[in-house]
């Protein structure tokens, strides 16, 4: 994909950042990064200085996502594409760029108010990534840091916007009956990773916009060991181990202390652009992913 962008970082906000820190380091096996500002924690997945930023606040939700362009030229191209789609990217300040550990960035909002940042020059850490709990490390690089799924009011409108403004491609759509009722999702990719973002429409209100962030381990055993740590620590499980039908990800979903879920996966599909066909699938899961949370009484 020409002037492709990849998911560089996510910024989340929440109240109990101390509990999130314990979860991120002792269950997920993330490496703590250097704190870029007071009350901002950072976590590493790879050689980059940081991939997940956590700031203290009331929202318990996503605050922003950052997409990285691979060069100054690609950065300008990405901003021009956004302008052509009808938005006016606003430059981030030098201080905001320093907190994000990027050379520069600009931001705009999608039609539902989700903050999107386009950056270049995400810095590398001075020390190699090391995690005793995740010895195989995480799959990032050209695929970006992972994927995330938002709750959407109008998933088709968001899919059109992310296609036009960010150059993403629709990978597929899916509908399934979940414990809360019928859920439909549009999955879009910015890189060969099957999806970079998903937009989910659910039949009941969801308390936040962020459903989950997915981080992908290189080693299947690291996913299993992480799942066992979550169970042993009493971490609520949103979905137990299973495999997705469309991106074939083997994964489980933990409920983070900020309320949204973290999907820890392995073995996700990479799309071959030459042969890929967009389809609608009628199941989210090949097997497993048994719900671990009680079904809300209103829809039980
Ligand atoms: Fe996912």
**192 and 91, same structural domain?**
no
Predicted pLDDT of residue 179: 84
Q: What is the mean pLDDT of residues 41-50?
A: 98
The verdict on residue 135 lying in a domain is no
Q: Are residues 158 and 294 in the same domain?
A: yes
Within-domain flag for 149 = yes
Residues 113 and 74 reside in one and the same domain: yes
In a domain, 61, yes or no: yes
Residue 48, domain CATH: 3.10.180.10
Alpha-carbon span 131 to 62, nearest angstrom: 25
93 C-alpha to ligand 1 centroid (Å): 32
Cα 263 to averaged position of ligand 1 atoms, centre (Å) = 6
Residue 223 Cα to ligand 1 midpoint, Å, equals: 14
Are residues 152 and 115 part of one domain? no
What's the pTM value of the predicted model, to 2 decimals? Answer: 0.96
pLDDT-derived band at 300 (thresholds 50, 70, 90) equals very low
3-state SS, one letter per residue, for 37-87: ECCEEEEECCCECCCEEEEECCCCEEEEEEEEECCHHHHHHHHHHHHHCCC
Which residues fall inside 5 Å of ion ligand 1, going by CB?
214, 263
| Whether residue 59 sits in one domain with residue 106 | yes
pLDDT of residue 11: 98
Which pLDDT does position 4 carry in this prediction?
Answer: 81
User: What pLDDT is attached to residue 91?
Assistant: 98
**292 and 154 within one domain:** yes
- 217: which DSSP letter? B
Q: How many CB atoms lie within 10 A of CB 158?
A: 22
* Total domains in the fold of the chain: 2
**pLDDT above 50 (res 98):** yes
pLDDT at 198: 98
Measure 99 CA to ligand 1 centroid, in angstroms: 27
**pLDDT at residue number 182:** 95
Asked, for residue 136, whether it belongs to a domain, the answer is no
Whether 128 maps to a domain, the answer reads no
For the purposes of burial, counting CB atoms within 10 Å of the CB of 6, is it exposed (0-12), middle (13-18) or buried (19 or more)?
Answer: buried
In the reported structure, the alpha carbon of residue 126 is separated from the centroid of ligand 1 by a whole-number distance in angstroms of 30
What is the whole-number distance in angstroms between the Cα of residue 212 and the centre of ligand 1? 7
State which residues form the domain around 221: 141-299
Q: Are residues 112 and 261 in the same domain?
A: no
Q: How far is the CA of 122 from the centre of ligand 1 (A)?
A: 24
DSSP letter at 196 equals: S
The reported pLDDT for the residue numbered 296 is 59
The verdict on 178 and 114 lying in the same domain is no
Tell how far the Cα of 195 is from the centroid of ligand 1, in angstroms: 8
Residue 134 belongs to a domain: no
Ligand 1 center to 227 CA (angstroms): 16
173 and 102 co-located in one domain: no
CA 101 / ligand 1 centre spacing (Å): 26
How far, in Å, CA of 118 to CA of 68, rounded?
A: 6
> For residues 154 and 170, what is the distance between their CA atoms, to the nearest angstrom?
15
For 229-272, how does the pLDDT look when each residue is reduced to its tens digit (9 = 90+)?
A: 999 999 999 999 999 999 999 999 999 999 999 999 999 999 99
Q: Domain check: are 238 and 146 in the same one?
A: yes
State whether 83 and 216 are in the same domain.
Answer: no
Question: Cα of 187 to ligand 1 centre, how many Å?
Answer: 10
**113 with 147, same domain?**
no
Mean pLDDT, the chain, rounded, equals 96
User: Among the three residues 86, 120, 154, which one is the final residue of a domain in this structure?
Assistant: 120
Sheet with 115-120, side-by-side order of all strands = 31-32, 40-44, 52-56, 5-14, 61-69, 115-120, 104-109, 90-91
The pLDDT value given to residue 1: 45
């Amino acid at each position: 994909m020409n002037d492709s962008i990849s998911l560089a970082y996510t910024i989340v906000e929440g109240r109990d950042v101390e509990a999130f820190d314990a979860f991120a380091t002792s269950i997920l096996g993330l490496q703590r990064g250097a704190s870029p500002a007071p009350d901002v924690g950072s976590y590493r997945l790879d050689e980059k200085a940081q991939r997940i930023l956590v700031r203290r606040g009331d929202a318990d939700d996503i605050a922003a996502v950052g997409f990285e362009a691979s060069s100054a030229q690609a950065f300008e191209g990405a901003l021009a594409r956004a302008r052509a789609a009808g938005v006016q990217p606003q430059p981030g300040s030098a201080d905001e760029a320093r907190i994000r550990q990027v050379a520069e960035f600009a931001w705009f909002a999608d039609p539902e108010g989700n903050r999107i940042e386009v950056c270049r020059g995400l810095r590398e850490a001075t020390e190699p990534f090391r995690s005793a709990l995740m010895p195989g490390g995480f799959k990032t690089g050209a695929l970006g840091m992972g994927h995330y799924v938002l709750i959407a009011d109008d998933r088709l409108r968001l899919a059109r916007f992310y296609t036009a403004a960010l150059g993403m491609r629709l990978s597929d759509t899916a509908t399934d009956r979940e414990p809360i009722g019928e859920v439909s999702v549009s999955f879009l990719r910015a890189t060969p990773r099957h999806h970079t973002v998903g937009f989910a429409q659910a039949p009941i209100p969801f308390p936040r916009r962020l459903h989950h962030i997915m981080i992908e381990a290189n080693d299947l055993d690291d996913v299993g060991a992480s799942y066992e740590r979550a169970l042993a620590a009493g971490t609520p499980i949103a979905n137990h181990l299973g495999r997705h039908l469309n991106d074939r990800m083997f994964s489980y979903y933990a409920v983070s202390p900020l309320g949204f879920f973290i999907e820890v996966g392995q073995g996700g599909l990479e799309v071959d652009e030459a042969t890929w066909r967009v389809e609608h699938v009628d199941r989210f899961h090949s097997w497993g992913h048994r719900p671990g949370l009680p079904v809300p009484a209103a829809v039980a």
